[in-house]
Amino acid sequence: MKAAINTRYGSPDVLDIRETPKPEPKSGEVRVKIHATTVGRTDSCALKAHPFFMRLVTGLWRPKKTILGLDFAGTIDAVGSGCTRFSPGDRVFGLTPDGFGAHAEYVCVPEGGPITAMPAGKDFGDVVVCEGAWYADTNLKKFKIGPGHKILIYGASGAIGTSAVQLSKSYGAEVTAVVSTPHLDLAKRLGADRIIDYTVEDFTKIGEQFDFVFDAVGKTTFFKCRPLLKPDGVFAATDLGPYWQNIFLPLWSSITGNGRVVFPMPESSRTVVDFIKARIDAGEFNAVIDRRYPLQEIADAYRYVGTEQKVGIVVIDVLP
């Protein structure tokens, strides 16, 4: 099979499209013939091993996982012994459960893991949305968001941000989306109740308070956003922040018991992808696709993601 291989850390130039053995499903596993995947921020960071501490997981001197990619959508190609949930030909989507492996023509995943049947009538590229939705919903569930709550989402145009807007609305919350000028219409289409253009207005000085502030791009801080929070309001971010404060502040918050800052770690499971499928089926969640690249041009996709200007997801079309 063809796969995007990286045997060392570095720029997208280290990626090499080459033939590698097709994986064989073990007992309890299914093999998916991948039609679409994505290049996301997690892939970009893993390719560069930045921040450096990622190497504790990905490999200290060289990558332990030489094929990146978390999201996949495709058809079941083969099933291992003991599998009864799926059959060859079934259209499925999900997340690679132990991290990466989807930037290839085939991947093996546990049948009981984060994989589920594709929603009817959807293209493969329409459902490679799990990574962004996964990160977004992990934080929304930590907030315990629901009807009557007000949430401000900073960076509401990326994969996590567009997911957070749609999922917050599905939970019944009132959403204020913070984006730049080119993305105002997108935020409106996604259902945001109020939209702030941060290029013309300082969103931290709007004189309004929220139950939750969610930094979906990791480019603001709790201290900047504190005036936006109600007395019992909660802040969360999807990145470490300056001086890794988004790790340390939740520790402080936990010790003091005020619960003002949270930094939940997502856990992939079948529940996650079943939830996303249900939201798609209900018409409450749709993919926002920025660009599409064929597998052989995946390095260009990485370069584009590295600009930090992508809107929604960047799809890789692996097989027709």
pLDDT number for residue 302: 97
User: What letters, b where the CB count within 10 A reaches 16 and e where it falls short, cover 46-58?
Assistant: bbbbeeeeebeeb
pLDDT at 242: 78
What is the C-alpha to C-alpha distance for residues 40 and 113, in angstroms, rounded to an integer?
21
**pTM for the complete prediction?**
0.94
Domains and CATH numbers, the chain: 2-128+287-317 (3.90.180.10), 131-262 (3.40.50.720)
pLDDT of residue 53: 66
Instruction: Give the span between the Cα atoms of 129 and 139, in whole angstroms.
Output: 16
pLDDT for 259 equals 83
Axis-axis angle for helices 159-170, 270-281 (nearest 10): 70
Place of tokens 């989402």: 153
What are the pLDDT tens digits along the chain (320 aa)? 999 999 999 999 999 999 999 999 999 999 999 999 999 999 998 999 877 667 777 788 899 889 999 999 999 999 999 999 999 999 999 999 776 999 999 999 999 999 999 999 999 999 999 999 999 999 999 999 999 999 999 999 999 999 999 999 999 999 999 999 999 999 999 999 999 999 999 999 999 999 999 999 988 999 999 999 999 999 999 987 777 788 888 788 888 878 899 988 888 889 999 999 999 999 999 999 999 999 999 999 999 999 999 999 999 999 87
Taking a C-beta distance cutoff of 8 angstroms, is the pair 192, 165 a contact? Answer: yes
